[in-house]
Structure formats: structure tokens, C-alpha cells
Amino acid sequence: MAIKAGIVGGTGYTGVELLRLLAHHPEVEIAAITSREAAGRPVAAMFPSLRGRLDLAFAAPERAPLSSCDVVFFATPNGVAMNEARALIEAGVRVVDLSADFRLRDVTEWERWYRMKHAAPDLVAQAVYGLPELNRERIRTARLVANPGCYPTAVQLGFLPLVESGAVDLAHLVADAKSGTSGAGRKMELHLMHSEATENFTAYGVPGHRHWPEIRQGLAQAAGGEVGLVFVPHLAPMIRGIHATLYARLTRELDLQPLYERRYAQEPFVDVLAAGSHPETRSVRGANVCRIAVHRPPQASGRADTVVVLAVIDNLVKGASGQAVQNMNLMFGLPETAGLEQAALVP
């Protein structure tokens, strides 16, 4: 019997990406898709790419049969899932939240960064952080999964082998990351308009970005202690993609290439490239994969104790909706790769 899936908030980029992936999933029936503004409108009328793939109309949230679903995805702004997830969980529905409502275990810290009162702190304690490469076994039995952010996915996957090795200075990690404009969501903002974002490149959030505590939390779990991290995000003139350039200082000698190859040898969605490679964002466009290359460049002093890791993902797939489907597969005992084996789009 097919898994009945519902999506709350189906008109944003992560929502339509979920629709694209689930419409091809061999074990899933999309039973409900909600939108207040688009209620009653056929999904294919708004997203013609789904014509012939999905015969469903948007429904107002209060009218959608969400409680009869097996799993519900929240592809909503921050602050929605924390108010609505409880009723679904109590009805026996499993929940995957693509917003940030349940990502940070410290509720006080969450409230400081997201500037609102958390409506369900008890659910935060139940939520499992949905990075399969870190928490796979806990995800399998979770009732509520907090899907990671896009930057945190790329940065954590790039750093994990180093942090777990204990062979780098954990107090001085640096993440220099670039994202396409779709990472900001499907909304009208001046700096995201084509004429503003094209032929432009800018850093933002240097004094503090909401993904910083999320990244530190995951890396601290892997390290078994606190980590120091400088995180600088940038907006790049492309639609999809994240490129994270990561820096760490070795504290003891380490053979880096085998370290990464061993760590990710059994991971279906992490691809460690050959030594000397430079992964491109277009190599993961539309695919649920993170491609990684690790380097040890020479320094003027003659030493080579700085590690440079390059990690690329599609922010809407492995950085959001694809990872959400990957988590769903784990939660329902399906092959982890089910519905997610599409090759990247080129060009």
C-alpha cells in the first residue's frame, strides 16, 4: 500500500520540489497539498511542469485531509509547523518539517535567532535532526524530523570527517559558502530580482546568520564538544546551488583522501571526488547528492597544515526537499534512494 503524503505550503520552491520528487516516487501517493491563496486551483495550473503527473488541487489547510496521511511535510515559513505539528503527531502522522522550527535543541537559542516565542518546546525535545549521514538510526524511528537547512547540509557534510577525526583545530573552523537566489524562497524582494542579482556577488549575514548555530550544533555532536566556527554566506548570481569552501588547520598528520573516502563509502548521496578535483554546482543541479573534494594546498612557510574542503549541493534538493524525501524513506523502512536516483541536469 502506498504511503499517503501531505504537503503543507505547496506553492514555494521547496513545496513544488517536493511535488516533483514525490510524483515520481514508486511508493508514495500525494494525498493533500495546501495553500490558502491558491485553494481550489489545480496544481498543474500553477506549475505546468506537473501536467499529466499530478491530478490534484490546492486545498485550504483546514479542509485538507492531513490527519489521514501517513506523513506530512511542512514546506512553510518558520513559525507554522510549531503550531500545527502536534495535532498531526497525536493523530499518528509522521512529520518532516523543512522550516527551522525544530532544528535547534536549545529553545532559548532558537528564540534569540528567530525572534519569536516557540510554541512547542516539548516537541523540540522529541525532534530528530534529519541529516542522515549523522543521525540515520534515530531518523528511522522518529515521529518528527527537523530537516536541515541548505547551508548547514553542505557545511556539515564537508567538515564531518575532519571533525570526527580529532585531527583539526576545532576552535578555528571557517566556512565560506555561496548560494543561488532560490535559497531565499519564492518571494518578491528587491535584491532577488533578476536585474539586481545578475552580474552581482555579495556577502551577507556576516555579523550573524541563523544557520550558524545549527551548523555548530551538528559539528559539536560529531566532535563530542564545542566548536568555533566563522560562517560567511554569499548570494551568487545563479538560481540553484550551494558551494561551500571550508577551511581547517591540521593538528596532526593525516591522510585526507582515504579519510573522506572511508567516511562516505556507504553513503548513497555523498560523492567524494578524486584528489585534486574541483566540484561544480551544476554537477548536482536537480540531484540529491553532495559532491566533495579535499585539498591540502602549500603555504608560504613550506608547511601544509591547512585543509580546504569543497562541497556542492543543490539547495532545493539535498539542501531541502530531496533530503526530506530521503528522511521519509528512512522513517518508513524504504530503500533510502527510493524516488531520488535522478541524475543531475546539464547544462
Task: Return the half-sphere exposure (C-beta side, CA atoms, 13 A cut-off) of residue 162.
Answer: 34
164/202 Cα distance (integer angstroms): 32
Sheet with 173-179, side-by-side order of all strands: 202-203, 229-235, 173-179, 242-249, 306-313, 290-295, 270-272
d(CA 269, CA 46): 31
Which cell is 177 given? Answer: 559558502
Q: How many CB atoms lie within 10 A of CB 27?
A: 16
Amino acid letter, 24: H
Active site residue 150: yes
Whether the CB-CB separation of 8 and 66 falls below 8 Å is answered with yes
Q: Which of 16, 69, 150, 307 is catalytic?
A: 150
- Contact call for residues 100 and 74 (beta carbons, < 8 A): no
Decide: helix, strand or coil at residue 152.
Answer: helix
Helices 211-223 and 150-165: crossing angle in degrees, nearest 10, is: 30
Q: Report residue 169 as a C-alpha cell.
A: 583545530
The span from the CA of 292 to the CA of 302, in Å, is 26
Per DSSP, 57 falls in state B
Rounded CA gap, 286 and 56, in Å?
A: 23
**Residue 268 carries which side chain, given as an amino acid letter?**
P
Which residues are CB-contacts of 224 (< 8 A; sequence separation ≥ 6)? Answer: none
Residues known to be catalytic: 150
